[in-house]
Structure formats: C-alpha cells, structure tokens
Structure 1
Amino acid sequence: MAHGEQYVVMVNDELQYATVPASWPTPRGWRAVGLTGTAQECASRVDALWTDMRPLSLRRAMADDTPAQEGR
C-alpha cells in the first residue's frame, strides 16, 4: 500500500462491502458509496455499514422461510 493512497468504499447488489484503491476502475457489479479516504477511514466506514455479513439474497431467503418454520 502506497503511503497516502486514497481508497473508496464499494458495495454490490448483495450489500457486500469492499475498499479498493481509488485509482482502480470500478469492478463490474459494484458501485461507490460516496466515501474516499485512507485505507483506515474506509475500513472503519465498512465496519459501520456492514453489520450483517450474509449476502442480501440469503437474508431474504431466510426471512421468507421464517413463517413456514414457525408453523412446524
């Protein structure tokens, strides 16, 4: 990691977060969430945003299955 290099926080459609160097092209399927800063600043923001590590599709599937399981 180069000293002073800027990073950007990214998120994908599954609400998974990542930090990448700001100089990199945006990976397919990802979008910036509006924070650019040091690696530590971006990592701290990801820690605050990404509170559930499960992909969004899994969370939805589990939520859809909850009433069926409660009735068993």
Structure 2
Amino acid sequence: MTTPTTPTLNSYTIDGDLFKVIKNAENQYSLWPEKKATPAGWTDTGFSGSKTEATDYVDREWTDMRPLSLQKAMAANK
C-alpha cells in the first residue's frame, strides 16, 4: 500500500501572488515575488502584477534576448 503524499507548494509559482519584474545589467528580465527584496545585481523595473501580467510585460519589453554585452560587441563589429 502506498502512502498518499501532499503536494509541495512553491511560493514562486502560486497564482494570485504579486510579482515584480526585475532586470540585470545585461538587460535580462526575471519575475520576482513582490514581497521579497530585489536581489543584488538586479534592478526593479517598477512593474508588478499577477504572474500573467508580469509575464506579458516581459514579453512586450524584452524583445532582444541577447545579453547587452553581446549586442554591443556585435554592433561594434559591423
């Protein structure tokens, strides 16, 4: 007989929580729980909302997936 297990909830993926959008020096975006401090090396973009809203914001804003350093290197080689 197997013992039923309780699913573990991940606080980073609970729908209904608010997320803020953060960005690093390479212009890479990430979602971060609104209640948590922004980690070192990242900047708060000023946008927060549901996980869906934050994801939509990132989809609109992060149009070039290349790190900023690569964008600059490629522009210099043109």
TM-score (norm 2): 0.79
Within 2, Cα distance between the matches of 1:33 and 1:2?
A: 21
Percent identity of equivalent pairs:
42
Larger helix percent: 1
SS at the partner of 1:27? coil
Deviations 1:20-62 (A, max 9, x none): 1111221111111111100000000000000000000000000
Q: In the alignment, is residue 6 of structure 1 matched against residue 8 of structure 2?
A: no
Q: In the alignment, is residue 20 of structure 1 matched against residue 32 of structure 2?
A: yes
Amino acid in structure 2 at the alignment position of 1:15: N
Which of 22, 39, 43 matches 1:31? 43
Larger radius of gyration: 2
Amino acid in structure 1 at the alignment position of 2:16: G
SS at the partner of 1:26? coil
Trace 1:46-65 onto structure 2 (pairs within 5 A). Answer: 46-65=58-77
SS at the partner of 1:43? helix
Unmatched segments (≥5 aa) in structure 1: 67-72
Amino acid in structure 2 at the alignment position of 1:14: E
Alignment RMSD (CA, Å): 0.9
